[in-house]
Structure 1
């Protein structure tokens, strides 16, 4: 392919990605965490129509639909490789989006309006622009007519925003052989670090924290609200429990990727040491909350419940918490920390496990990681690549649990820092830069061809 043809092909993939992104936004597959929401069948149909456009001369694409609950459809598109020993590649995009508070939006959340170099809409950043780029890159391989050496699959997953029980999690359990989990890519990566000397660094997500949700329950004396004297008050007890839990300060991680991430900023030695030992995060500015989460087990009290009638002393109260362990930290570690913090109240508090999942992480080596680094270098020559952990969850954890590797991969313009991208997730007036859509489309096309030999 000559340079003009290559340029035209890149432009075609970018244009197709933008068009598909807008269609996916307009489908409004809002997941409110209930089984009947989402209705990702709309985007599954859109994706099938998108792949059908390649025509009769294209490579055959195997299409598989999965519907564990009415309307909750995931769809996989697979191009078989010519070499059974070649590395396969699976691109996990999700098609559901989180709810919106329409009164807080200044634009239609599902209008996919393009204005000022931006495309607005719920899910534009999380993660429909990546999903669209994945689909366009795989369709481009099919349209080329040249079979890849390694088998290539794109999956439009349902239900990622509700932890994948009707999406990738369901597929991993009920259709584990439908496609390969050996090498997976998903959200998010390719943003830039604000290095203190003005140089550049690119982010790749190598893992994510786990889940350790807990409910802490206490009991007290029931009675009439008019006569509280001498009662064992459940509300007062749960308030003290909440105070002690909020005061927990877990130790900072000593393991990678935290030290490498800190050193990538090129702070002065004193500031660097304050970050490595967790004594201050102020130097990181807008990134301090994310960075703290990346370097610690986090425990966030989020739900408090007690009582019904205002004139009745409740006999039960409970606190629910969103706990996120790092790789290597166990559920037993979380319980031990909670009991230590509760002190003399520990025997009066029932600890119930809710959703629990261990953290997952992939190595900074191997064929897929090396392909990511090489692809970044193609677009930003000589820029160092910095591994990070995601504070939240993604569908990649299911691939890692099945023995594969998984990385968050996208690409952003030089002015898009890690902080600016994180700030767009689940926000009002969510948008994605058109430049970032194009860069991500080009990057996926380049990485796919590099890795599976298309």
Structure 2
């Protein structure tokens, strides 16, 4: 039986997809005001307190708070984002903003990342408001600019309105997908942390000159090529922390295979999750941008290479620079810092995590609940930096593996199974009521 709020939640998700709040990383894009207005209409006459935030025109975040009746009860804050990434419309087989429902799926940009969770959060919060509230305060925030790392969304709110709502106990994307275990047992994920960012731009200098006379010139292009070659050979140390160890153990491999995966010797037993396992098990370095020269007949005196580096919890900017300088010893380079943010992680031994685990085991009896970290970023890092906890949480059907869910992120023809919308609605309703002290439980 579908949750009683399913139809309203699906209608809201449809409207949010159709809002087409595409964030192309420029300040004037996104225009999340459209989805903020949709959410405000959705909450009309609910009794929730509304706050709107607009750092630049059109980039609106919106918060709905239902105050608790018991000051001692734990609050919860649901962080949903309302922006989506751009689309290559020529690669879609349907209108990416039509929110078309077909064969038990809803298609559209943002349907998985993360508008379905945002819609669920809103529906559950509105229902709590209509009921008059719970012992603990419930807040839902529709955040702008998450896809550009939150500079006009969560990061801006933390800087300019840090007390607008509680950051103590937060939920956001994504979680709830299943692992393809070796023995067929069920294991479902919760995100407890995410890797950090340590972006670098590496500069080298060489001799300028005419392209017709390269003799004895110090070539910046040859240098940057050597830089790229050496960086490609860096082999960062594989993690030995409990989260990585537990993730591998959840697959229930034989001892020899488990040792090979855990040590980073061979990720192939993870199958569709081999790249994910590689990403979350050690510091990763992706060479993404290369620049040198302008005219074909001019020797460029400057070349640079940009690196998307993602760090594990506990790894610092100093650690990253030491690794790069060691690899590039003997080459005269300048290392420029771009976006730098430390990795964040929340404890597994925490009352909110215990509730998440309890609810997932109610939905999937006998399943192991497996904490993991995200290779990318989310707005949860701002909660953790503020001293709170943040967990990525949703619920997908048993046959939806972590690899299958990840395959939908930023994909062409992105779609969500409606069954997963209903499961996530059930899960959030139960979590909010359990954690905020509703003895009646969820429906």
Q: TM-score, normalised by structure 2?
A: 0.98
Pick the aligned partner of 1:163 from 125, 131, 149. Answer: 149
1:418 and 1:256 mapped to 2: Cα distance? 20
The answer as to whether partners of 1:13 and 1:442 remain within 8 angstroms in 2 is no
Pick the aligned partner of 2:52 from 65, 81, 91. Answer: 65
Dislocated runs of 4+, deviation >3 Å? none
- Listed one character per residue, the Cα deviations across residues 189-214 of structure 1 (whole Å, up to 9, x for unaligned) are 11101111111001000000000000
1:356 CA displacement: 0.1
1:383 CA displacement: 1.1
> Which runs of structure 2 are paired with 1:41-440 in the superposition (5 Å)?
41-52=33-44, 55=45, 60-145=47-132, 147-345=133-331, 348-440=332-424
1:358 CA displacement: 0.2
| Map of 2:9 onto structure 1 | 17
What SS does the corresponding residue of 1:382 show, helix, strand or coil? coil
What SS does the corresponding residue of 2:128 show, helix, strand or coil? helix
What SS does the corresponding residue of 2:329 show, helix, strand or coil? helix
The answer as to whether partners of 2:186 and 2:366 remain within 8 angstroms in 1 is no
Q: Which moved more, 1:23-32 or 1:437-446?
A: 437-446
Gaps of 5+ in 2: 439-443
1:143 and 1:414 mapped to 2: Cα distance? 32
| Map of 1:3 onto structure 2 | none
The answer as to whether partners of 1:94 and 1:131 remain within 8 angstroms in 2 is yes
What SS does the corresponding residue of 2:303 show, helix, strand or coil? strand
- Listed one character per residue, the Cα deviations across residues 351-389 of structure 1 (whole Å, up to 9, x for unaligned) are 000000000000001111111011112211221100000
The answer as to whether partners of 1:184 and 1:404 remain within 8 angstroms in 2 is yes
The answer as to whether partners of 2:73 and 2:436 remain within 8 angstroms in 1 is yes
1:12 CA displacement: 2.6
- Give RMSD over aligned pairs: 0.9
What SS does the corresponding residue of 2:93 show, helix, strand or coil? coil
What SS does the corresponding residue of 2:5 show, helix, strand or coil? helix
What SS does the corresponding residue of 1:257 show, helix, strand or coil? helix
- Listed one character per residue, the Cα deviations across residues 146-179 of structure 1 (whole Å, up to 9, x for unaligned) are x211111000000000000000111111100000
1:344 CA displacement: 1.5
1:16 CA displacement: 1.3
Aligned residues: 438
The answer as to whether partners of 1:26 and 1:111 remain within 8 angstroms in 2 is yes
The answer as to whether partners of 1:64 and 1:77 remain within 8 angstroms in 2 is yes
1:278 and 1:41 mapped to 2: Cα distance? 45
2:148 and 2:298 mapped to 1: Cα distance? 36
The answer as to whether partners of 2:3 and 2:425 remain within 8 angstroms in 1 is no
1:76 and 1:378 mapped to 2: Cα distance? 30
The answer as to whether partners of 2:67 and 2:138 remain within 8 angstroms in 1 is yes
2:266 and 2:401 mapped to 1: Cα distance? 21
